[in-house]
Amino acid sequence: MPEIGTMINVRGLKRSFKTPKGVIEAVKNISFEVKRREIVGFLGPNGAGKSTVLKMLCTLLRPSDGEASIAGFDLLRDAKQVRRHIGYVSQSGSTSPEARAGDEIVWHAQLYGIDRNEAKERGKHLFDVLDLEGQWEQKCGSLSGGQRRRLDIAMGLIHQPELIFLDEPSTGLDPQSRANLWDHIRKLREDFDTTIFLTTHYMDEADALCDRLLIIDHGEIVGRGEAKTLKSQVAGDNIKLTLRDNRDTQKAALCSESIAIAQPIISGNLVQIMVKDGAASLPKLAAALNEGGVEAIGIEVSQPTLNDVFLSLTGRSLRD
């Protein structure tokens, strides 16, 4: 029995797809919990299985195995109740380009049994909250990317769900709209007490929004916890050297081997060196480079990022 404060409880969830090329195990064996009023994020690269998990939890895909309870209802036995209590904002949008934004949200509300007047009132309120005033009569297709994403979120909130699933909420938006959207998402919890479960492959989004992260790769959760804790578990800091050319990067990598705690990573004219303590290593590195006759044109020390966390967990960078 999950405790009262549990909004999502997932046990041994699996999903495979049969394709002409063979069976893809998109989600291998996933278990996790989300508490009421938490903002939890799935962080993982493309194809990690994030959307597949989300679709299963929203009753859009049947799990191959495992079980889950959502907002206190069993995902498989009580799918209709689950649907009543959740909102879902898919990765690919939710509106017809030809439909007027206001019409679309009112019709959507009616599918939840909300009557037209009530739907209009709630819709207009959500449009205000999400900075969509004046877009009620606009066709969805003529909205900007950021506006359309906020409209998707408004659609997902029209029935005042306790829990909302956001699949890649800010993909495709410019930096300013993203930061703006994050503010809106944080406010959902303050204003409506909504529990939020989102997926992202951006570490800044995960950093900015989530209380807690589940790091997913190849259909498995490889790390979990607060961003701060995860980062502190990565041993050491990063030193990034910028060099003039490829010959220099090779030499610099060689010079730094004595102080690095992992194999230096070369990408273009950059060398990334993982060290135990950034501040203490810097003079040693400078001396080593000097001795090797390499001149760095840039040097930068940084604390570990979520990318480093991902790197240390999987041996790969989030971005490739």
Partner 1 sequence: MKQYFGDSYVVFLRSMTLSLQNPIWVLVSIMQPILYLALFGPLLVQVAGVPGFPVGDSWQVFVPGILVQLAMFGSLFVGFGIVAEWRSGVIDRMLVSPASKNALITGRVMRDVIMLIVQSIILIGVAFLFGLRIGPGAIFASLVLVGLLGAAFSYFSYAAGLWLKSEDVLAPMINSIALPLMLLSGILLPMSLAPRWLQIVSDFNPIKHVVQALRSVFRGEYLNFETILGLFLALSVLSVAAIVGNLAIKSQAR
Residues forming contacts to ligand ATP in the complex (CB under 6 A) are 17, 19, 24, 26, 44, 46-52, 91, 201
Residue numbers 58-97 binding Mg ion by CB under 5 A: 91
Q: How far is CA 88 from CA 263, 268, 311, in A?
A: 42, 41, 30
| Spatial separation of the C-alpha atoms in residues 309 and 232, rounded to whole Å | 9
Shortest reach from residue 131's CB to Mg ion, in Å: 25
Q: At which residue do the structure tokens 């207009």 appear?
A: 124
Residue number, 166 or 285, with CB nearest to ligand ATP = 166
Which partner in partner 1, ligand ATP, Mg ion, none is near 145 (CB below 5 to 8 A by kind)?
A: none
- Looking at the Cβ atoms of 16 and 305, the one nearer to partner 1 is 16
Nearest approach in angstroms of CB 81 to partner 1 is 8
CB 101 within 8 A of CB 144: no
The residues that touch partner 1, with contacts defined as CB under 8 A, are 58-62, 80, 83-84, 86, 88, 90, 92-100, 103, 107-108, 110-113, 152, 155, 159
With CB under 5 to 8 Å by kind, the binding choice for 49 among Mg ion, ligand ATP, partner 1, none is ligand ATP
Selection from 315, 318, 264, 317 nearest residue 289 by Cα: 264
Pick from partner 1, ligand ATP, Mg ion, none: which does 176 bind, CB < 5 to 8 A by kind? none
Cα dihedral 289, 291, 295, 296 in deg (nearest 10): 10
Closer residue to partner 1 (CB): 83 or 178: 83
Q: What is the DSSP letter of 66?
A: E
Is 51 an interacting residue with respect to Mg ion (CB under 5 A)? yes
**Rounded least distance, CB 111 to partner 1, Å:** 4
292 near 271, Cβ under 8 Å? no
Distance CA 93, CA 148 (A): 8
Q: Which amino acid is at 300?
A: E
- Alpha-carbon 292 to chain mean position: 42
CB-wise, 58 or 203, nearer to partner 1? 58
Looking at beta carbons only, is 32 or 88 nearer to partner 1? Answer: 88
Nearer to Mg ion, 169 or 304 (CB): 169
Q: How far is the CB of 51 from Mg ion (least distance, A)?
A: 3
Whether the Cβ atoms of residue 264 and residue 271 lie closer than 8 Å to each other: yes
Q: Taking the complex as a whole, how short is the minimal distance between the CB of residue 9 and partner 1, in angstroms?
A: 19
- Comparing CB distances to ligand ATP, the nearer of 15 and 122 is 15
**How many residues at the interface with Mg ion, by CB under 5 A?**
3
From residue 299, give the alpha-carbon distance in Å to each of 108, 231, 271.
Answer: 54, 21, 10
**How far apart, in whole angstroms, are the C-alpha atoms of residue 219 and residue 24?**
10
CB 276 within 8 A of CB 269: no
Question: How near is the Cβ of 314 to ligand ATP at its closest, in Å?
Answer: 14
What letter does residue 258 receive in the DSSP assignment? T
Q: How far is the CB of 61 from partner 1 (least distance, A)?
A: 6
